[in-house]
């Protein structure tokens, strides 16, 4: 990736054109704090041009056949496959994720998800007979896709690809910290040959571009991933115009280790889950719940596992944990650690002190906290950093109470002596997705939350259906 690039254009109506709004966004490398690039800070002018282009394309794009959309999406998939190294290099630079993790997840997962939607589109029935009615699934209209920085390409693909597969034109507003991989994606869309207006990219801040997009009368569907606080604002603005919304928001997921399960594997897997991507994962198991008889054992095992995560240069293949995304996030995570200690938590490993060996970059010490009580801030709020809290429970009912005892309900884990035991416990949790005994992530299963973790679902058939509306014809 080149040292510095100055971009002044947005991808609108099938071409790169100069931004119509003043201002720019500086993109920093969080490991070096050096400037990578500047991109336009689009606002109402760029958003209006993009939405106008999408509306102009909506009817013709929505009328394309399944085979036409499959051909274009296949070319996009092939472009993503060919650009794996470039995607990895870009995400490492602008997010600071370790190169090995980036290649496997930040670059590899979007390719897997795109392929899954090719298979789904080829088989999905857009027409169903019910009694004397034929029900047609039709494109839901112009989609505003607003994506976060923590999994920048995956979140783009999880919204844009199913929307395009459904026949909806899209306006994408990526996070301002990671706009470069979004520009790369726009280039791949263009090279795949999608018609003008089917996909549009506007870089900008949430306050200007994001707000203008959500409030634009030409947008029919808003798909947003981000914080719960901003998600509420999005829902309120969209609701005034009766727009459909899909919100994938925060999490404070619990990993519950039941007696008789493999505690060694459970704790080691939990630490890896929380420290991956520097803890910047909405579905991370940030609360480890263990029976009180195994509490100290779990603390010891967590400390041992955490020792394997030493902050380092994300371009080094040996690095397992890089920096957090920016200075604001660094201060936020350290503040949560200090707050927890002030409330009486015990520091097992880590802490808020700077990483002495890395004076440059936004590095946080991977941290494990014990003696955390359920009402503590660190046990209730999303930290979004490499911080794991360990809580003891008395019995299964108490474990359910603790696991469900936050405003969130996005994900979780359960470890039992067997799958049936784990599944029975998982059915009692108020959360959208639970991994049993380390079950693998499934890109075909619906992803989304309960309670303050959001509305709607992404991935698989359920993700496609977020972008469809239904018309019944009676015969």
Provide the percentage of residues in the chain whose pLDDT is more than 90.
99
pLDDT of residue 84: 98
Provide the percentage of residues in the chain whose pLDDT is more than 70.
99
pTM value is: 0.97
Local confidence band at 4 (pLDDT 50, 70, 90 cut-offs): confident
Longest dimension (CA), the chain: 74
Mean pLDDT value across residues 46-52: 98
On the question of pLDDT at 53 being above 90, the answer is yes
Euclidean distance between CA atoms 7 and 429, whole angstroms: 47
pLDDT of residue 174: 98
On the question of pLDDT at 1 being above 70, the answer is no
Q: Where in the chain is the domain with CATH 3.40.309.10?
A: 254-442
Catalytic residue (choose from 89, 176, 248, 465): 248
Per-residue pLDDT tens over the stretch 343-383: 999 999 999 999 999 999 999 999 999 999 999 999 999 99
Mean pLDDT value across residues 52-68: 98
pLDDT of residue 415: 98
Mean pLDDT value across residues 439-457: 96
Mean pLDDT value across residues 281-290: 98
Euclidean distance between CA atoms 472 and 133, whole angstroms: 6
Euclidean distance between CA atoms 13 and 54, whole angstroms: 7
Mean pLDDT value across residues 187-199: 98
Active site residue 248: yes
Mean pLDDT value across residues 67-87: 98
Active site residue 128: no
389: which strand partners?
287, 369
Mean pLDDT value across residues 39-66: 98
Euclidean distance between CA atoms 299 and 290, whole angstroms: 10
Check residue 229 and report its DSSP letter: H
pLDDT of residue 47: 98
Q: Looking at the domain 254-442, which fold is it?
A: Aldehyde Dehydrogenase; Chain A, domain 2 (3.40.309)
pLDDT of residue 27: 98
Q: Which of 52, 56, 57 is nearest to 167 (CA)?
A: 57
Mean pLDDT value across residues 411-431: 98
On the question of pLDDT at 2 being above 90, the answer is no
Return the SS3 of 346. Answer: strand
Catalytic residue (choose from 94, 168, 176, 282): 282
Indicate the average pLDDT of the chain: 97
Sign of CA dihedral 305, 306, 308, 314: positive
pLDDT of residue 429: 98
351: which strand partners?
365
Mean pLDDT value across residues 151-163: 98
The CATH number assigned to the domain with range 5-249+453-474 reads: 3.40.605.10
Q: Where in the chain is the domain with CATH 3.40.605.10?
A: 5-249+453-474
Local confidence band at 108 (pLDDT 50, 70, 90 cut-offs): very high
For 28, list phi and psi in degrees, rounded to 5. -105, 150
Euclidean distance between CA atoms 50 and 58, whole angstroms: 12
H or E stretch covering 266 = helix 263-275
Burial 252-261 (b: 16+ CB within 10 A, else e): bbbbbbbeeb
Per-residue pLDDT tens over the stretch 223-279: 999 999 999 999 999 999 999 999 999 999 999 999 999 999 999 999 999 999 999
* Residues sharing a CB contact under 8 Å with residue 427, sequence separation 6 or more, in sequence order: none
Mean pLDDT value across residues 122-130: 97
């Amino acid at each position: 990736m080149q040292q510095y690039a100055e971009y002044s254009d947005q991808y609108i109506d099938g071409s790169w054109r100069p931004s119509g709004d003043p201002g720019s966004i500086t993109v920093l490398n969080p490991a070096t704090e050096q400037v990578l690039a500047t991109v336009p800070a689009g606002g109402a002018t760029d958003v209006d041009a993009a939405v106008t282009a999408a509306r102009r394309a909506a009817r013709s794009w929505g009328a394309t056949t399944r085979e036409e959309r499959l051909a274009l999406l296949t070319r996009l998939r092939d472009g993503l496959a060919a650009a794996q190294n470039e995607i990895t290099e870009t995400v490492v630079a602008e997010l600071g994720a370790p190169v090995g993790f980036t290649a496997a997840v930040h670059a590899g997962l979007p390719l897997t998800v795109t392929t899954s939607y090719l298979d789904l589109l080829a088989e999905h029935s857009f027409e169903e007979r019910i009694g004397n009615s034929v029900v047609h699934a039709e494109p839901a209209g112009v989609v505003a896709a607003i994506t976060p920085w923590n999994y920048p390409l995956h979140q783009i693909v999880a919204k844009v690809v199913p929307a395009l597969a459904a026949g909806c034109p899209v306006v994408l507003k990526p996070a301002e910290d990671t706009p470069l991989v979004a520009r790369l994606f726009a280039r791949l869309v263009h090279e795949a040959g999608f018609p003008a207006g089917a996909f549009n990219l506007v870089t900008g801040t949430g306050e200007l571009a994001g707000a203008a997009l959500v409030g634009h009368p030409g947008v029919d569907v808003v798909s947003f991933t981000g914080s719960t606080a901003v998600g509420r604002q999005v829902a309120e603005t969209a609701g005034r115009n009766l727009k459909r919304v899909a919100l994938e928001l925060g999490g404070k997921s619990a990993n519950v280790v039941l007696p008789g399960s493999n505690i060694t594997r459970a704790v080691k897997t939990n630490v890896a889950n929380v420290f991956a991507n520097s803890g910047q994962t909405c579905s991370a198991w940030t609360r480890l719940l263990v029976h009180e008889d195994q509490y100290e054992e779990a603390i010891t095992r967590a400390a041992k596992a955490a020792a394997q995560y030493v902050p380092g240069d994300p371009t080094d293949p040996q690095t397992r944990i890089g920096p957090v995304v920016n200075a604001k996030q660094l201060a936020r995570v350290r503040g949560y650690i200090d707050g927890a200690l002030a409330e009486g938590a015990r520091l097992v490993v880590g802490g808020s002190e700077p990483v002495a060996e890395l004076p440059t970059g936004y590095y946080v010490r991977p941290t494990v906290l014990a003696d955390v009580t359920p009402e503590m801030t660190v046990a209730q709020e999303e930290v979004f950093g490499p911080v794991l809290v360990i809580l003891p429970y008395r019995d299964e009912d108490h474990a359910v109470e603790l696991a469900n005892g936050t405003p969130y309900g996005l994900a979780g884990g359960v470890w039992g002596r067997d799958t049936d035991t784990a599944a029975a416990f998982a059915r009692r949790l108020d959360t959208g997705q639970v991994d049993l005994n380390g079950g693998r992530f499934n890109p075909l299963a619906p992803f989304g939350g309960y309670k303050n973790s959001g509305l709607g679902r992404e991935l698989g058939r359920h993700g496609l259906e977020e972008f469809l509306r239904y018309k019944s014809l009676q015969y």
